[in-house]
Amino acid sequence: MVNPARIRWQAMRGRDPGEEHRVSTPLELFFDLCFVVAVGQAAAQLHHSLDEGHLGGGLVGYLAVFFAIWWAWMNFTWFASAYDTDDVPYRLLTLLQMAGVLVLAAGVPAAFEHYDFTVVVIGYVLMRIGMICQWLRAAVEHPEGRATTLRYAAGIAVVQVGWVARLWAPGTWAYVTFAVLVVAELAVPAWAEARGRATPWHPEHIAERYGLFTIIVLGEVVLGSLAAVQSVVAEFGASASLIMIAAGGLAIVFVLWWIYFTGGEARLRNLRVALTWGYGHVVVFASIAALGSGIEVAVDTAGHRSHIGEQAAAFAVAVPVALVLIALGALHRLANTGAVRSSAFVAAGAVVVLALPFSTPLLGLGGAVVGMAVAAAATLVANRTGSVESRP
């Protein structure tokens, strides 16, 4: 139960990085669910782009939008790990950020279709107002970390002004300024933590937050795939290929979940490892969400509702799966979980997955998806063996 006195007001002194039994709060889980709405919007737009055969434009729009979603989640997650007081001001500012997330989600279609980020930026402004106020409050109430918290507040504010100004960037400059501002965003935490006292983020809490968000994104894949299967069955009825795609897609989701949570607890030994591990998760999150789009495209292709062929649809599933395998292999090794015995197993699994779409004329699209699940499971077996052998 939450202490009512704590809800009213509590000084933002910074949490203990060694605090035992530190778990995600109900507010953090609610926050994640709002972000999954935005992830679902991005995945849906990618699905439609792939169905229409607009690969280049769809990927550019997806990557741009997903970066915005993931980075806003990152900002809140690491701040909350260090300064979550769960009192009234903290809750209200967090709810403001959640409202900003939903505004961002509403702007996803325009960002995809017209590369118009106006609504997305408005959502970001709302989130950044809440985030800057949180950092400034930490600066006032946590004197020991004041220099660092003020750098965070200043860095976030300056870069946000850049995003607003970018809305008027013409032609090619819109793409150039986007890339520059992405680099600036990624540089803010390293710059803020470079001097002075580091923020008291909690390693186990951070690892749990990333794991929970992975589960939620996997859940979004299951939900989107189920809706696609129901739609095709209602219109055309079930077929052997459709059943195989559904079963193979579900198996892939199960296997990816197992691979992510194979091994021991992530060991985020220092800021460099933690930031690399945290930044590396963008590949995991974005690829898993894109996998959902790929499975939906495969379902549409089986129901003859897509403008692309079976091989292209198979690649829409294979590429995200391969990226997740490679990213998880690297992250497990970085965090020293003991889950990866050899990078060769991970690489071999990714190669097999990427090769399977070439066999679609022989196996059919459903068979190719099932094959990807088997190849991913083979990677899991290698990882699991490494995990067992690494234990003392």
DSSP 139-195: HHH-GGGHHHHHHHHHHHHHHHHHHHHHTT--THHHHHHHHHHHHHHHHHHHHHHSS
Residue 17 lies in a domain: no
The confidence score (pLDDT) of residue 342 equals 74
Residue 298 lies in a domain: yes
What total of structural domains would you count in the chain?
2
What's the CA gap between 32 and 34, in Å, rounded? 5
Place of tokens 């097999």: 352
What's the CA gap between 109 and 65, in Å, rounded? 10
Of 193, 219, 253, the residue that ends a domain is: 193
- Pair 180, 212 in one domain: no
Contacts of 134 (CB under 8 A, 6+ apart): 79, 83, 90, 93
What's the CA gap between 344 and 226, in Å, rounded? 34
Give the SS3 label for residue 41.
helix
- Pair 154, 48 in one domain: yes
Neighbours of 102 (CB within 10 A): 15
- Pair 301, 169 in one domain: no
Averaged pLDDT in 10-residue chunks for the chain of 392 residues = 56 83 91 93 93 89 93 95 92 96 93 89 96 95 92 96 94 91 94 82 93 94 90 82 89 92 85 90 96 94 86 93 93 86 82 85 77 84 53 38
Give the SS3 label for residue 391.
coil
The confidence score (pLDDT) of residue 239 equals 83
- Pair 188, 209 in one domain: no
What's the CA gap between 193 and 155, in Å, rounded? 11
- Pair 165, 259 in one domain: no
Q: What is the largest CA-CA distance in the chain?
A: 67
Of 126, 160, 193, the residue that ends a domain is: 193
- Pair 212, 188 in one domain: no
- Pair 140, 225 in one domain: no
What's the CA gap between 79 and 89, in Å, rounded? 15
Give a three-class secondary structure readout of 53-121: CCHHHHHHHHHHHHHHHHHHHHHHHHHHHHHCCCCHHHHHHHHHHHHHHHHHHHCHHHHHHHCCCHHHH
The confidence score (pLDDT) of residue 360 equals 63
The confidence score (pLDDT) of residue 392 equals 38
The confidence score (pLDDT) of residue 389 equals 41
Q: What length is written for the chain?
A: 392
Residue 16 lies in a domain: no
The confidence score (pLDDT) of residue 235 equals 78
- Pair 244, 379 in one domain: yes
Residue 3 lies in a domain: no
- Pair 179, 218 in one domain: no
Distances (CA, A) of 363 to 205, 207, 244, 253: 44, 39, 11, 21
What's the CA gap between 124 and 108, in Å, rounded? 12
Give a three-class secondary structure readout of 317-328: HHHHHHHHHHHH
Task: Measure the CA dihedral 170/172/174/175, to 10°.
Answer: 180
Residues spanned by the domain of 257: 203-390
- Pair 226, 175 in one domain: no
Q: The domain spanning residue 279 has which CATH number?
A: 1.20.1410
